[in-house]
Amino acid sequence: MPRGLSPPGLLFAALGLVALALPFATLRANRIVAGEGVFLWDAAGPGVVAVALAAMIAGLALGLQAARPWWRLGGSLLGLAGLVLVLSRGAGRLLEGAGDLARVSPAAGFWCLLLVLMMLMADALSTLRPGPRLRLVLLAAVLGALALVLTSGALSELSIMQEYRARAEGFRRAAIRHVALAFGSLGAAAAIGFPLGILCHRRARLRGAAIPVLSFLQTIPSLAMFGIMIPVLAWVAATVPGAAEIGIAGIGFAPAFLALLLYSLLPVVANTVAGLNATPPAAVEAARGMGMTDRQRLWGIELPLALPVMLAGLRIVLVQNIGLAVIAGLIGGGGFGTFVFQGLNQTASDLILLGALPTVVLALVSAIVMDILVDFARRTPKRESA
């Protein structure tokens, strides 16, 4: 291999060239029928295609520079700009004369190119290893650019955007419900799991009983867990006075929330125990020698040192629950899963994407933000000791 070339960059360039040979978009007579694949050079006008192809090929070429990670990052952004350009200009062109019910959707070539360019971006960032503040700025910039593209109307002719416009109010309610399920169960798991983890760290007998039970709950398949919650909460709603009035029922938000909470406890408790166990004995002994009480040692020494590991447990829970909340749509829990299962029932692929893509974006953003918080927690003790 020639010196100065990036092995991942070579792989991404090869995959990108293969993706260019795949159908870029799909033109369908309506939202549910099978469509006809359209290649990139037929998707838009010659001028637009030439500019977009030049941008994508130049981006993949910049990705070959092993010693210049900033060039590789810029190349990924340049390629993404070309990808959006041809998609935005091509959708309207393909719909001309195709009928009022015709739909245009991204096809395999688009998704493969998007994946390749995103992997190139991730590889460049892993080489750069930006600090948490710079990562936060980059994340805000990417989200801002995404919001600008979506609100500008450049992609308004795409089928998924038409699905969104037809369900804008329902999408807003689904987003609120999805966030409530994922982040609400995370907060409840933290409120229960952190104290339980501290007790498990202090009491070996409790740890020996609690961890196996929580591990068993993790082995239950998600569909089975949601199904188990239905008769349990239906019985509670029917027999406990006032339960139904506060929203507890066999289907809906309550069983989904409880199932997610049960799935969340093991990572929170286990990481709390692991973080406290990893506290340096010398630090604990020094605190004891200074006359600090058990509570003072816990709040002043052990928990601050264990915080990165505890936050890593919350990261696992949050990403897990964002994904599992999709399944809540099967039991009336709402969230983005509502669109996924509606799309499956109607064989409408763009309706499926309307639920799947926001879930993926929410999970990625949450994971990045939690990683940034973990890095901040790891740096705090160093600054204080300095």
Kindly indicate the confidence band of residue 284, based on its pLDDT and cuts at 50, 70 and 90.
Answer: confident
Give pLDDT tens digits for 64-123.
988 889 999 999 999 999 999 999 998 888 888 777 888 999 999 999 999 999 999 999
Count Cβ atoms below 10 Å from residue 169 Cβ, excluding itself: 7
Cα-based distances in Å from 329 to 31, 183, 339: 22, 17, 8
For position 2, what pLDDT does the model report? 60
Q: What is the residue type of 123?
A: D
List, in sequence order, every residue forming a beta bridge with 105; answer none if it has no partner: 26
For position 294, what pLDDT does the model report? 83
Residue 385 reports pLDDT greater than 60: no
Tokens matching residue 336: 């983005």
Kindly indicate the confidence band of residue 382, based on its pLDDT and cuts at 50, 70 and 90.
Answer: very low
Tokens matching residue 157: 């002719």
Give pLDDT tens digits for 291-321.
888 888 888 889 999 999 999 999 999 999 9
The second-level CATH assignment, the architecture, of 168-385 is: Orthogonal Bundle (1.10)
pLDDT: is 287 or 124 the higher one? 124
Kindly indicate the confidence band of residue 386, based on its pLDDT and cuts at 50, 70 and 90.
Answer: very low
Averaged pLDDT of the chain: 90
User: What distance in Å separates the CA atoms of residue 47 and residue 54, rounded to the nearest whole number?
Assistant: 11
* CATH 1.10.3720.10 domain locations along the chain: 168-385
For position 369, what pLDDT does the model report? 95
Alpha carbons within 13 angstroms on the beta-carbon side of residue 86 total 33
Q: Of 358, 373, 368, nearest to 179 (Cα)?
A: 358
For position 55, what pLDDT does the model report? 95
- What is the share, in percent, of the chain residues with pLDDT greater than 70? 97
For position 309, what pLDDT does the model report? 94
User: What distance in Å separates the CA atoms of residue 252 and residue 350, rounded to the nearest whole number?
Assistant: 25
Residue 330 reports pLDDT greater than 90: no
Q: Of 16, 18, 12, 17, nearest to 123 (Cα)?
A: 12
Give pLDDT tens digits for 130-168.
999 999 999 999 999 999 999 998 899 999 999 999 999
Kindly indicate the confidence band of residue 3, based on its pLDDT and cuts at 50, 70 and 90.
Answer: low
Cα 157 from chain centroid (whole Å): 26
pLDDT, mean of residues 175-187: 95
